[in-house]
A and B are shown apart, each in its own frame.
Chain A
């Protein structure tokens, strides 16, 4: 395409993020939705756990004797004393609530899944079906030609390798840095730690374009432009606040009584952290690592601006090579490449999901 149109070519990217056209948006939506789902579920998870544990802790503190004998046993009203007609009503209410919850969840899932399912459908459609005014979910003449073209046109495998390296190393670094910080913030609560947590939350509101130029200049000053190390450093810094915030919640969910019990049994501080706290934190660490990985895997703008050599470009950047001017896209190959780009994080989440369970703390503290 010629540069006849000026769409998105003059000024913009620094203001607008310079994102690609609809195809890429779609692709990113797919993965973005996934990332959202991931983060969402992970957070929900942690929230649930935290909730459960807090409750637990509350009960513990409030109802069990906790070995102190200061509180009596809670009075539990026997079910037999409740009238039968009043027992039916809560059951019906519970059923209705549960049905509503499932309906809302299904609607939310459909909303999240639509872009991804449409991406799958588009990836297997021949060009003539892409131009149809009556698009179908199932391609009438499914083809693998889009995949063949995508691989023939762009170095997708090399780009995926670059993305994998950046995402894995940045996730690992973020976890190594965030875990001890989160422990400190969760366990030593004072005015300073509360201010630090507040700052972490506020920092999430900073837009990308606010930091890109200062970051670029800093990295240029230390010769880390067009360097994978530079990009990974940026990813770590970018994902660290949220990772810290997430992990703090997980640390709070681990009852301090466990550490106290270990100390009573003679374990030192390090032994307690390694043998008692860390295993209980594992699901939280996995969830946070997954979040950091997917954030880096899907990231586009930093990679575009910081990496210049073709051999270092990451997958989201390479996906834009299927786009022309004026939002025109080589839609079939773009959809095929975007689908392949979403699969690793999807598979990773599917594999790790079982590890992110809220039940690991069940029974840890005796109530």
Chain B
């Protein structure tokens, strides 16, 4: 105990302490960035929902952000925060978001990506939440694309038919019959036309088959091909019957037998084929309907093109995996999230979204909108095809991604390039494919 009167010197901060404090400053500056999800979502009675959108084209981005702003103006107590996602990374990003408890409340995705999340319990069952208007507006065949084990896990709202984009001048010169949605080409007719349009090194058709599986499976629906067959016990088996073989054989023969299809485009994506198409190296390119936007942007001035329906087999059907809006199971305000989805998908808004993405809406009322029935950019052709779009056969099959990557993609690529024959392809798809699926069905 001190008894002298010397004043106590001010406590000196040791230099080491100062240094530690200095070192901690940048870290302290970062601390507000740490996650506090629940606090962010509800403050002062106001709900904030996060909407992760995958819009990526200029018009589509603008429309999505406008609609969010309109909602926020009209609903001060339920605010929606726009979060940007990206198509190539959405699966990984969602997978880890669900795992980390950081998932967005409203999730934009596609039906072929939902299976794992739906079966894994990450997505809410929307069946009881759906407003009757929305339920009625979207046809049953579209609801089926987002239904897993009898539960609806997403609202399908935009879809994309595969079409033939053709050089109109070349078609007219060759005097072939121009197909319409009411009277499309058959696969045989399509093969004949492609041969007639082939001149020297200029091919009748260029198949961009970098991703050959979904293109083949979805088009094979027109000939009755399903490839995946569900047994009575609920398990799935792969078959490669005669009806499944029509489309792959047509493509194979075009490339390897009559040479009416370009071999070089087999490994390309859709965009990669466009320069050759503009230059007249091929007369037709089978592409998604939305590629019209790139064609409008990139085609040389005066280039005359048209949209034709994909060939038909026994029907004009083709498989699609529509874009969807889902709600995370962890979302504490599911009704509010559904109200936002309902707002986003009101017919006029659905039309705006469809125009922004150059796609077709699933809603019947939106499909009747005059803006989607115009001849300009062949909107009317696409709209006429909407009724023939069905659920892609593979999307609800567990193990499909692995089957696709390990079995079907290499198998189809080798078959299309002529390296293996149809029988070898069948053996691979069926034997190896069923081995893969069996692991998911134990």
A binding-site residues for B, Cβ under 8 Å: 1-15, 18-22, 24, 127-128, 130-133, 149, 152-154, 165, 169, 216-217, 220, 223-229, 232, 304-306, 308-310, 312-313, 317-318, 320-331
A128-B299, A323-B56 as given contacts; A226 in contact with B102, CB under 8 Å? yes
With a cutoff of 8 Å between Cβ atoms, the chain A residues found around residue B402 in the complex are 11
User: For the complex, is B83 an interface residue (Cβ under 8 Å from A)?
Assistant: yes
Give the residue of B92, B93, B160, B269 whose beta carbon is less than 8 angstroms from that of A2: B160
Contact assessment for A3 and B110 in the assembled complex, using a CB-CB cutoff below 8 Å: yes
Whether a CB of chain A sits under 8 angstroms from the CB of B84 is yes
The reply to whether A11 and B405 form a contact with Cβ atoms under 8 Å apart is yes
Q: Which residues of A contact B404 (CB under 8 A)?
A: 6, 10
Chain B binding surface, main DSSP class: helix
Complex contact B290–A2 (CB within 8 A): yes
Residues from chain B with a CB closer than 8 A to the CB of A165 are 30
What residues of chain B lie closer than 8 Å to A318, measured between beta carbons?
Answer: 84
> With A1-B357, A18-B88, A220-B100 in contact, do A322 and B269 touch (Cβ < 8 Å)?
no
Q: B278 near A131 (CB under 8 angstroms)?
A: yes
Indicate which residue in A1, A13, A132 contacts B160 across the interface (CB closer than 8 Å): A1
**Partner pick for A310 among B83, B91, B271, B291, CB 8 A cutoff:** B83
Q: Are A321 and B56 in contact (CB-based, < 8 A)?
A: yes
Whether the pair A2, B158 counts as a contact (CB closer than 8 A) is: yes
Residues in B neighbouring A227, C-beta threshold 8 A: 30, 33-35
Per-position binary interface string of chain B over residues 333-375, scored 1 when its CB falls under 8 Å from any chain A CB and 0 otherwise: 0000000000000000000000001010000000000000000
Is B139 at the interface (CB under 8 A from chain A)?
Answer: no
Whether B264 is near chain A, meaning CB under 8 Å from some CB there, is: no
Query: How many residues of B sit at the interface, in one of the four size bands?
Result: 35 or more
- In the complex, the answer to whether A12 meets B91 with C-beta atoms within 8 Å is yes
List, in ascending order, chain B residues with CB within 8 A of A11's CB: 91, 116, 401-402, 405
**Can you list 27 A-B pairs, Cβ within 8 angstroms, ordered by A?**
A2-B158, A2-B160, A2-B357, A3-B323, A4-B110, A4-B214, A6-B113, A7-B210, A8-B91, A9-B113, A10-B113, A12-B92, A21-B269, A127-B298, A131-B275, A133-B275, A133-B278, A165-B30, A220-B101, A224-B34, A226-B100, A227-B30, A229-B30, A229-B33, A305-B93, A308-B102, A310-B84
Asked if A10 and B297 sit within 8 Å, CB to CB, the answer is no
Extra 16 A-B pairs, beta carbons < 8 Å, given A4-B218, A308-B97, A320-B88: A1-B160, A2-B159, A2-B290, A7-B210, A8-B88, A10-B404, A13-B92, A14-B92, A18-B91, A21-B269, A152-B58, A153-B58, A228-B30, A229-B33, A321-B85, A328-B271
Would you give the shortest CB distance from B363 to chain A, in whole angstroms? Answer: 15
Most buried by A among B159, B288, B301: B288
Taking a contact as CB atoms under 8 Å apart, the answer to whether B320 and A128 are in contact is: no
Fill in one digit per residue for B19-44: 1 if any A CB lies within 8 Å of its CB, else 0.
Answer: 00000001100110111000000000
Whether B87 contacts A304 by the Cβ 8 Å rule is no
Report the Cα distance A331→B56, complex, angstroms: 11
Question: Which listed residue, A2, A14, A152, A309, touches B288 by the CB 8 Å rule?
Answer: A2
CB-contacts of B109-149 with A (<8 A): 109-113, 115-116
B102 touches A225 (CB 8 A): yes
Residues of B contacting A19 in the complex (Cβ-Cβ under 8 angstroms): 88-89
Name the contact of A330 in the complex, choosing from B58, B210, B269, B400 (C-beta under 8 A): B58
Q: Tell me how far the C-beta of B340 lies from the nearest C-beta in chain A, rounded to whole angstroms.
A: 17
**A-B pairs under 8 A by CB, number:** 229
Closest 10 CB pairs of A and B: A3-B110, A131-B298, A13-B92, A10-B401, A11-B401, A2-B160, A320-B86, A133-B279, A133-B275, A127-B297
B112's contact among A6, A309, A321, by CB below 8 Å, is which?
Answer: A6
CB of B49 within 8 A of chain A? no
Q: Confirm or deny: B61 has a beta carbon within 8 angstroms of a beta carbon on chain A.
A: yes
Across the interface, name the chain B residue whose C-beta is closest to A162.
B33
B274 within 8 A of A: yes
| Nearest B-chain residue to A328, judged by Cβ | B271
Closest chain B CB from A221 CB (angstroms)? 10
The reply to whether B269 and A131 contact each other, CB–CB distance below 8 Å, is: no
How near does chain B come to A161, taking the closest CB pair, in angstroms?
12
Measured in the bound complex, the distance between the Cα atoms of B402 and A320 in whole Å is 24
Question: Are A321 and B27 in contact, with the CB atoms below 8 A?
Answer: no
Is the Cβ of A1 less than 8 Å from the Cβ of B288? Answer: yes
> CB-CB < 8 A to A224: which residues of B?
34
- Nearest residue (CB) in A for B360 is A2
Q: Contacts A2-B160, A327-B271 given; indicate if A308 touches B87 (C-beta within 8 A).
A: no
Question: Considering the complex, which residues of chain B in the window 74-105 have a beta carbon less than 8 Å from any beta carbon of chain A?
Answer: 81-93, 95-97, 99-102
The one of B31, B34, B90, B211 in contact with A326, judged by C-beta atoms closer than 8 angstroms, is B211
Per the bound structure, the CA–CA distance linking A308 and B58 in Å amounts to: 23
Report B-chain residues with C-beta under 8 Å of the C-beta of A331.
271
Which A residues touch B158, using CB under 8 A? 2
B235 close to chain A: CB less than 8 A: no
* B332 within 8 A of partner (CB): no
Pick from A132, A228, A306, A324 the residue with the most CB of B within 10 Å.
A324
Q: Please measure, in the bound complex, the distance between the C-alpha atom of A245 and the C-alpha atom of B401, giving whole angstroms.
A: 40
* B residues less than 8 Å from A12 (CB atoms): 91-92, 401, 405
Specify which chain A residues have a CB less than 8 angstroms from the CB of B299 in the assembled complex: 128, 131
In the bound assembly, the distance between CA atoms of A326 and B291 in angstroms comes to: 11
Q: Does any Cβ of A come within 8 Å of B322's Cβ?
A: yes
**A305 to B100 Cα, complex, angstroms:** 10
| B-side contacts of A321, CB under 8 Å | 56, 84-86
Question: Would you call B357 and A305 a contact (CB within 8 A)?
Answer: no
In the complex the two chains form, is A216's CB within 8 Å of B100's CB? yes
Quick one: given A228-B33, A229-B34, are A10 and B275 in contact (CB under 8 Å)?
no
What is the CB-to-nearest-CB distance from A327 to chain B, in angstroms, rounded to a whole number? 4
Among A7, A131, A227, A305, max chain B CB count under 10 A is at: A131
B427 to chain A minimum Cβ distance, whole angstroms, is 23
What is the CA–CA distance of A10 and B57 in the complex, to the nearest angstrom? Answer: 22
A13 near B159: Cβ-Cβ < 8 Å:
no
A320 CA to B278 CA, complexed, in Å: 27
With A and B bound together, what is the CA distance between A165 and B24 in angstroms?
A: 15
- From residue B353, how far is it (CB to closest CB) to chain A in Å? 11
Per-residue A-contact encoding for B312-330, CB less than 8 Å = 1, 0 else: 0000000011111000000
Would you give the shortest CB distance from B19 to chain A, in whole angstroms?
12
Q: A325–B87 contact, CB under 8 A?
A: yes
| In contact, A130 and B211 (Cβ under 8 angstroms) | no
Q: Is B91 in contact with A9, judged by CB distance below 8 angstroms? A: yes
Q: Kindly provide the distance from the CB of A274 to the nearest chain B CB, expressed in whole angstroms.
A: 15
Which residues on A sit within 8 Å (CB–CB) of B90? 9
- Counting CB contacts under 8 A, is B281 at the interface? yes
Q: Are A1 and B88 in contact (CB under 8 A)?
A: no
Q: Taking CB as reference atom, which chain B residue is nearest A333?
A: B58
How long is the Cα–Cα vector from A312 to B102 in the complex, in angstroms? 13
Nearest to A13 among chain B residues (CB) is B92
Could you say which residues of chain B place their CB within 8 Å of the CB of A169?
26
**Which residues of the other chain, A, contact B392 by a CB distance below 8 angstroms?**
4
Whether the pair A328, B294 counts as a contact (CB closer than 8 A) is: yes
Q: Which residues of chain B have C-beta atoms less than 8 A from A306's C-beta?
A: 96
Q: Is the C-beta of B181 less than 8 angstroms from some C-beta in chain A?
A: no
Give the most central of A1, A313, A322, A325: most B CB within 10 Å: A1
